């Protein structure tokens, strides 16, 4: 299983609608998207391939209410921190968001995730 599949499996324990990058148009709320937005590279002097990798993973929750978005991102933080398939640490607290054109409430949080290569 890839780390992306493991991340999805952790988030699905909180809410069922979880998608990499973006949700299909018309997806019922709430839903979650996630994507890798960077990470740290391991480099060894002897030019060996590392057996671990790191990714900076952004998780976004989208909902009809601010309260639901905040509640879900907190539950997802718990699922990420306690996952056994990888090691995740939050890089900061979550950030609230709102898109008045849709309208939709959001919450996002970034995690540094270490996993097997």
pLDDT digits (tens, 9 = 90+) for 72-92: 999 999 999 999 999 999 999
What pLDDT sits at residue 47? 87
Q: How far apart are CA 50 and CA 105, in angstroms?
A: 40
Element (H, E) at 95: strand 95-99
Q: Which domain holds residue 36?
A: 3-22+30-44+51-116
pTM of the model: 0.93
Total of domains in the chain: 1
The CATH number that applies at residue 57 is 3.30.2000.10
In tens, the pLDDT along 37-68 reads: 999 998 888 889 999 999 999 999 999 999 99
Question: What's the distance, CA 95 to chain centroid?
Answer: 13
Distances (CA, A) of 105 to 8, 30, 56, 67, 117: 21, 9, 23, 9, 35
Residue position matching structure tokens 């599949």? 5
């Amino acid at each position: 299983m890839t780390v992306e599949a493991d991340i999805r499996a952790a988030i699905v324990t909180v809410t069922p609608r979880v998608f990499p990058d973006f949700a299909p148009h018309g997806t019922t709320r709430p839903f979650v998207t996630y994507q890798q937005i960077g990470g740290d590279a391991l480099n060894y002097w002897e030019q060996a391939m590392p057996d671990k990798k790191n990714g900076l993973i952004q998780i976004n929750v989208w909902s009809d209410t601010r309260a639901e978005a905040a509640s879900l991102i907190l539950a997802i933080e718990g699922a990420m921190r306690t996952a056994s398939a990888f090691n995740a640490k939050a890089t900061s607290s979550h950030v609230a968001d709102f898109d008045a054109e849709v309208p939709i409430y959001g919450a996002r949080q970034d995690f540094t995730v270490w996993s097997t290569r």
